[in-house]
Amino acid sequence: MSDIARNNRIKTLTTFLELDPKDSFSRYALALEYINAEEVALAVKEFETLLEHDPEYSATYYQLAKAYVALGKIEEAKKTYQKGIDLTARLGDTHANQELREALLMLSSGH
């Protein structure tokens, strides 16, 4: 994917968020674009903002924890995985819950 296309998507998503700062889907998509652009700190900021507005946007926990790992924030990653595990258990989302559990186990075992 070209940098121009990515930058255009980032601009578009940013515009959507200017119109509606609580648009969870656009904020999540923007954070993923930042990950793809290797702007992990910006992605973390977007994921954290998303969870402030919409703490039940469950996919965020997995991606935010991975971003924390990329930044060397292992304890924050573990806490984030655990929060996602608790949420997905409460919501009955067994697939996401299992993914979060496996990710936490791998991180905790040093893999």
CATH number at residue 10: 1.25.40.10
pTM over 0.95: no
What residue numbers bound the domain in which 81 lies? 3-108
What is the pLDDT confidence band of residue 2, given thresholds at 50, 70 and 90? confident
Q: What's the domain count of the chain?
A: 1
Q: In whole angstroms, what is the distance from residue 38 CA to residue 67 CA?
A: 10
pLDDT of residue 43: 98
Band (pLDDT 50/70/90 cuts) for residue 1 is: low
3-state DSSP assignment of residue 55: coil
As a whole number of angstroms, the distance between CA 32 and CA 78 comes to 20
pLDDT one-digit tens code per residue, 67-89: 999 999 999 999 999 999 999 99
State the pLDDT at residue 111: 62
